[in-house]
Amino acid sequence: MASRKCKQSSDRFCYFYGQFIFSKKRRPIVDSLKTAYLHYFGFPVANQDKKWVPHVFCESCRIILLQWSSGEKVYLPFGSPMLWREPSNHENDCYFCVTKTLGYNKKK
């Protein structure tokens, strides 16, 4: 990976599908969610020891996964999760550097 740092923290994005999330809606990845993720998608939450992977879920994904794991018939709004890999450079291969979040605000 290039030595330059990312323009944005990876923890500003949902581990599941990579969407930008405000700090108020970020939730840590806890064991119960890791288990639910494994059962829902068939593979584990990975690379949590790396800086280039988000370490949070958005509140929506957390709620849906917990409801699903408790037996409710709810589904995530996408078929497959984001698959994270280490970027080769920050100019055009780093998800967090190329994703534009300027213009997002908490007010509607």
Q: What is the pLDDT of residue 2?
A: 45
- The reply to whether 1 falls in a domain is no
> pLDDT-based confidence at 79, cuts 50/70/90?
confident
Query: Does residue 92 surpass a pLDDT of 90?
Result: no
pTM of the model: 0.81
Per-residue pLDDT tens for 24-61?
999 999 999 999 999 999 999 999 999 889 999 999 99
Residue ranges making up the domain that contains 36:
10-98
Query: Does residue 98 surpass a pLDDT of 90?
Result: no
- The reply to whether 103 falls in a domain is no
How far apart, in whole angstroms, are the C-alpha atoms of residue 26 and residue 58?
A: 5
Domain count within the chain: 1
CA atoms 28, 30, 32, 38: torsion sign: positive
- The reply to whether 108 falls in a domain is no
Per-residue pLDDT tens for 8-28?
889 999 999 889 999 899 999
